[in-house]
């Protein structure tokens, strides 16, 4: 399930980039970073399914924040990576505080959905 959610988020993120002009400006501006952090969360849940939701959320936030902070480091080899399509999608271009907020929202929403889904699954198993 975690891998499926990860791929759905990736496809949604790519669609939001392609069709962002059809979305309200506020959503179009922030949905990509929010989905990026959600993708990190669900990807880590796939890799570490037995880890606690809180641990995966904390690691996802730390990873996302580190990527954003790395954008303060403008050196030629890092910028060469960022100037590729994949590099731009993964590493971004410039530090923004709004990205940090989006990452927090994306991870928190994902952890909340995961927690609710986990409770639903355990209720059905009883």
Provide the whole-model pTM.
0.84
CB 20 within 8 A of CB 90: no
Q: How far is CA 16 from CA 9, 39, 44, 105, in A?
A: 10, 14, 22, 17
pLDDT of the chain, 126 residues: tens digit per residue:
899 999 999 999 999 989 989 999 999 999 999 999 999 999 999 999 999 999 999 999 999 999 999 888 888 888 888 888 777 777 777 888 999 999 999 999 999 999 998 765 654 443
Nearest in space to 95 (alpha carbons), one of 71, 59, 125, 123 = 71
């Amino acid at each position: 399930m975690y891998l499926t959610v990860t791929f759905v988020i990736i496809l949604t993120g790519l669609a939001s980039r392609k069709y962002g002009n059809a979305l309200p400006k506020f959503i179009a501006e922030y949905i990509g970073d929010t989905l990026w952090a959600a993708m990190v969360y669900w990807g880590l849940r796939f890799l570490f399914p037995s880890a606690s939701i809180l641990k995966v959320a904390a690691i996802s936030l730390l990873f996302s924040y580190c990527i954003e902070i790395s954008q303060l480091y403008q050196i030629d080899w890092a910028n060469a990576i960022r100037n590729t399509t994949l590099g731009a999608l993964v590493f971004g271009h410039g530090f923004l505080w709004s990205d940090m907020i989006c990452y927090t929202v994306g991870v928190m929403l994902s952890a909340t959905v995961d927690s609710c889904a986990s409770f639903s699954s355990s209720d059905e198993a009883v």
